[in-house]
Amino acid sequence: HTAQSQLEAALLDANSTLTAQQAAAQAQTTVTDAAKKAYEEATAALDAYVRAQSRRYTTAELRLTSLDFRCPLDSYGRITTQFGEADPWGIPHRGTDFAAPGGTPIYAIADGIVSAARAMNSYVQVSHGTADDGCRYDSLYAHMSSIAVAEGTAVRRGDLLGYVGNTGNVYGAGGGYHLHLELRVNGSRTDPLGYVPSR
């Protein structure tokens, strides 16, 4: 009888521990879901802004004379996240991440005009205009530690835009320092490495 009540007590204890673990897991899921939702909302707002800025600056005169893009960094460690690869939330990655030490200079991949430069979100967008293929091109450089250009500035291929940082939503080894590069063709994100050399 004592063994039975001890067993019941042990079962009850195990059950309440399990319930506590489930409650903790549920709370963590709720926090993660809220963070994911906030991240998705912020990304959507940012997206709407950079698209509007692209439309504002991409005039008929803004022409991209060559699709001879350059690598945005003279040197970097490695590519840590590929375009389309799922992030920890399962969201497909919107660009390509180049791991590099903090302060590494970031250069324009092609001629264009700075259509967005936001210190708050630590990114620069360059609108390159319409190329001979009839497509519109925009590049976006994110997680900068500092920005070297202002909105409305004309830039040439290879001009300094800013420096690698770890601002915003970053994670990973070495403090997460990297350049997040996005390329949009006709407003749609595409794999930058389909156009931009990795070296």
Give Cα 107 to chain centroid, integer Å.
17
Mean pLDDT confidence for 179-199: 95
Q: Would you say 81 and 97 are in contact if contact means Cβ atoms under 8 Å apart?
A: yes
Query: For residue 136, which of 46, 47, 42, 53 has the smallest C-alpha distance?
Result: 53
Instruction: Using alpha carbons, list the distances in angstroms from residue 179 to 12, 79, 188.
Output: 52, 9, 20
Q: What is the pLDDT of residue 164?
A: 95
Instruction: Say if pTM beats, i.e. exceeds, 0.85.
Output: no
119-131 pLDDT per residue, tens: 877 899 999 999 9
Q: Which run of H or of E encompasses 142?
A: strand 136-142
Three-state SS string over 52-77 comes to HHHHHHCCCCCEECCCCCCCCCCCCC
Chain-centre distance for alpha carbon 101 = 17
- The structure tokens 């009839």 sit at 134
pLDDT computed for residue 189 by the predictor: 94
Alpha carbon distances (Å) from 123 to 69, 170, 187, 192 = 19, 13, 17, 16
DSSP state of 44: H
Nearest to 123 by CA among 111, 106, 109, 98: 106
**Per-residue confidence (pLDDT) for residue 179, from 0 to 100:** 95
- Tokens representing 105 are 């200079």
Q: How many CA atoms lie within 13 A of 171 on its CB side?
A: 3
Closest CA to 141 of 100, 173, 185, 95: 95
pLDDT tens for 72-106 read: 999 999 998 899 998 777 888 999 999 999 999 99
Residue 18 has pLDDT above 90, yes or no: no
